[in-house]
Structures are given as C-alpha cells and as structure tokens.
Amino acid sequence: MQYKLAELLLRRKELNEKTRQLERIKTEALFETKAKRVNVTESLDDIVAQVPKLTASQVTAEYDYYARQLRIVDSHIQQANWQTEVTVESDDVMAPYRA
C-alpha cells in the first residue's frame, strides 16, 4: 500500500507513545501476588490473596507488537529519507557539511 510520508511520521509518533506507555508499567505493581494468613482461632484461618489481573506475557506480547510496528514504520521513513533529494535555494545552508 502507498502512504504519504506525513502519514508514516504520524504513525511513528503514535507507536513511540504506545511503546513508552507500555515501558512505564511497573512490573511489581501488576504482577505481584501476595498472600496473607491470619489465625482467627486455633482451628480457623483467614486467608487474603491478591491475584494479578494480567500476566507478564500479555504485557510483553503487546509491547513486542507495537515495538515491531514501530521498527517497520521507522525503516520505511528512513528509506524515504535516504532516497529523497531536496533542492535548497541557498548554498550557505549546507556549507559546513561540504567536504
């Protein structure tokens, strides 16, 4: 499919933000399972447990998906970057980079 470079640049920005959001997830906060056992009487215990809502593999899989999409989009942008030539009206702009 053909896309405008501007569309790919916007998609790259979206994917960058998504991967940053996923990177910020605190593993300990989501995946820590705690169990607490309290003796109520000699024959009765009260057990309290917290069960994680997500598995590490679910978050990792989502991060990997968006990171891969980001790499694909970025490679197409870089390809366009190396294949596109721009005419600059003033030679002074690029003077420091001439060999």
Mean pLDDT of 15-33: 77
**pTM for this one?**
0.60
CA distance 8 to 71: 12
pLDDT at 89: 83
For the chain, give the percent of residues with pLDDT over 90. 30
Distance CA 88, CA 91 (A): 7
Across the range 3-21, mean pLDDT stands at 92
pLDDT reading at 14 higher than 90: yes
Residue 76's nearest CA partner among 22, 24, 10 is 10
Parse the chain into domains and list their residue ranges: 5-79
Rounded CA separation 4/14 (Å): 16
Residue 46: what are its φ and ψ, rounded to 5°? -105, 120
